[in-house]
Amino acid sequence: MYNDKLLMSADKSVYCLEQNLCALLKERQTSREGTTAPCSFRISSEGLPVILPYITKQILYATPTDFKHLLQYKNIKFADFVDAEFGQKASKLMMGCCVIVLKRGGNALPDPVQVDESTIAIGCWKGRASLSVMVTAIDCQELLERLLMRIETEKDNSMQENNVETAQVQDLDNTGKNEGTDSMEVGING
């Protein structure tokens, strides 16, 4: 893993991979949840792509609609998610930091997550009744734009696939009609 590259600050409050890439920050429990949240670290946005393949707990896969709502509203109650199953899974996570990954094409990503330039994931905080985004407003806006571009690209690709399939079916129909006509003519002339 990254054990040989993991650097720790003197007070053990920051864990960095390399010199300027901090992945885990010590979390002081000053939130409304108080000290009942067992999470002692939070994931920084900058370090998330590096450690994402190694995260096995506190990770969920969201539909584009729910991911978009998280970015827009930044705090959503579990019951308010469009995908009710996602809301139930989110409510069952331990309180504290978690990661939400955008599903690709309606499917969850493989476990562990294969990170590439198309992977979109955000750090969130799971509270008692809601999920809150731990990303700046500017980052939320940029991610929202990337998400909208991806949705448009997927729509265009599916429309092109449907057009190709329709054309193939029409070609088969036309070929079948021609063959049927030819055989009928042969039957009449023969």
Residue 49 confidence (pLDDT): 83
Structure tokens at 35: 């000290």
**Per-residue pLDDT at 43:** 78
Average pLDDT for the chain: 74
Mean pLDDT for 58-73 is 93
Report pLDDT for 34: 53
First to last CA, the chain: 77
Cα angle value 163/167/169 (rounded, 5°): 115
Average pLDDT over residues 34-60: 76
Q: What is the pLDDT of residues 66-104, one digit of tens each?
A: 999 999 999 999 999 999 999 999 999 998 889 999 987
pLDDT digits (tens, 9 = 90+) for 109-161: 566 667 777 788 999 999 999 999 998 999 999 999 988 888 888 777 777 77
Residue 96: name the closest of 45, 26, 46 by CA.
26
Task: Supply the DSSP string of 8-25, one letter for each residue.
Answer: E-TTS-EEEETTTEEEEE
173 has a pLDDT exceeding 80: no
> With 70 as the cut, is the pLDDT of residue 56 above it?
yes
Q: 127, exposed or middle or buried, with CB in 10 Å at 0-12, 13-18, 19+?
A: middle
pLDDT of the residue at 32:
54
Q: Which of 25-29, 106-110, 158-162 has the lowest mean pLDDT?
A: 25-29
Q: What is the pLDDT of residues 175-186, one digit of tens each?
A: 555 444 444 444
Q: Give 24's strand partners.
A: 15, 43
- 42, 84, 94, 49: which is closest to 63 by C-alpha? 84
Alpha-carbon gap, residue 148 to 154, rounded angstroms: 10
Query: What is the pTM for the complete model shown?
Result: 0.66
Distance CA 126, CA 39 (A): 10
